Amino acid sequence: MNMTHAVVAHGPHDLRIDAVACEAPGRGEVIVQVAAGGICGSDLHYYHAGGFGNVRLREPLTLGHEAAGFIASVGEDVDASLEGRLVAINPSRPCQHCRYCLKGWQNHCTDMVFNGSAMRFPHAQGIFRQQLTVPLAQCVFPPADISPGEAALAEPFAVALHAVRQADEVFGKRVLVTGAGPIGALTVLAARMAGAASITVTDVADFPLDQASQIGADETLNVTHGSVLEQSVTEHGEFDIAFEASGVPAAQVQALRALAPRGTMVTIGLGQEAMLPMTLLSARELTVRGTFRFHEEFALAVAKIPEQREALGHVLTSTLDYTEATEAFDMASNRSRALKVQLSFQ
Instruction: Report pLDDT for 276.
Output: 87
Instruction: Report pLDDT for 54.
Output: 87
Check if CATH label 3.40.50.1010 holds for domain 2-153+305-344.
no
Instruction: Report pLDDT for 226.
Output: 60
The CATH number assigned to the domain with range 160-290 reads 3.40.50.720
Instruction: Report pLDDT for 211.
Output: 96
Quote the strand ranges of the chain, DSSP E: 2-11, 14-22, 29-38, 51-52, 55-56, 61-62, 66-74, 86-89, 92-93, 113-114, 131-135, 139-140, 174-178, 198-203, 219-222, 239-244, 259-267, 287-290, 316-321, 340-344
Residue 114: which residues within 8 A CB-CB, separation 6 or more?
65, 91, 92, 93, 124, 293
Distance between alpha carbon 189 and the CA centroid of its chain, in Å? Answer: 13
Instruction: Report pLDDT for 229.
Output: 58
Instruction: Report pLDDT for 227.
Output: 55
Residue-wise pLDDT tens digits, 26-53: 999 999 999 999 999 999 999 999 998 8
DSSP 40: P
Domain ranges of the chain: 2-153+305-344, 160-290
DSSP 308: G
Instruction: Report pLDDT for 230.
Output: 58
Q: Which residues of the chain register pLDDT less than 50?
A: 228
| CA-CA-CA-CA torsion sign (206, 210, 216, 221) | positive
pTM over 0.75? The answer is: yes
Instruction: Report pLDDT for 234.
Output: 57
